[in-house]
Amino acid sequence: MNTLKDRLRTDLTAAIKARDEVRSSTIRMILTAVTNAEVAGKEAKELTDDEMLSVLSTEAKKRREAAVAFEEGNRPEMAAKERAESAVIADYLPAQLSPEEIADLVTKAVEQLGVAGEGPKAMGKVMGVVTPQVKGRADGAAVAAEVRRQLG
């Protein structure tokens, strides 16, 4: 059985008992997204913890983007709701990498590949090396920005 899914179900029960509306509705939303991912495609299958982390990362990104959109649309109450949901989702994701840690990983990848002077055309190679290392622990846009910065 999937340990992350079990933890989500246990936490959902606790949140409902504690009458924590934001937490319980967010966990329900996560479980729904997981179920949708499980039944997507030709065959239904149970997701592994890594696949669930991918779903969680996607949901967290949706919340961040929605919060920014609501801020820009002058809807601070909706932005706050999205940020609260994002905080609940973050509890289930691995600790996020700091900008310094991302920069270190990118620097090592650039040195390993020997593409320091190649400029932006080497971006795909570097992203190919760095992306598996940061999966679920860093926003892809932040990694891409760092790669662009280092490649010049």
Write down the CATH superfamily of domain 3-90: Uncharacterised protein YqeY/AIM41, N-terminal domain (1.10.1510.10)
Give me the pLDDT at residue 85, please: 93
How does pLDDT run across 8-18, given as a tens digit for each residue?
999 999 999 99
Pick the CATH number of 99-151 from 1.10.10.410, 1.10.510.10, 1.10.645.10, 3.40.50.300: 1.10.10.410
How does pLDDT run across 6-45, given as a tens digit for each residue?
999 999 999 999 999 999 999 999 999 999 999 988 888 8
Give me the pLDDT at residue 74, please: 93
What pTM was computed for the model?
Answer: 0.75
Q: Which of 122, 128, 152, 125 is nearest to 140 (CA)?
A: 128
How does pLDDT run across 89-104, given as a tens digit for each residue?
988 888 888 888 888 8
Q: How far apart are CA 65 and CA 60, in angstroms?
A: 9
Give me the pLDDT at residue 117, please: 72
Give me the pLDDT at residue 24, please: 94
Mean pLDDT of 118-128: 82
Instruction: Report whether 91 contacts 53 (CB < 8 A).
Output: no
Instruction: Report whether 66 contacts 85 (CB < 8 A).
Output: no
pLDDT above 90: residue 111:
no
CATH 1.10.1510.10 domain locations along the chain:
3-90
How does pLDDT run across 64-87, given as a tens digit for each residue?
999 999 999 999 999 999 999 999
CATH 1.10.10.410 domain locations along the chain:
99-151
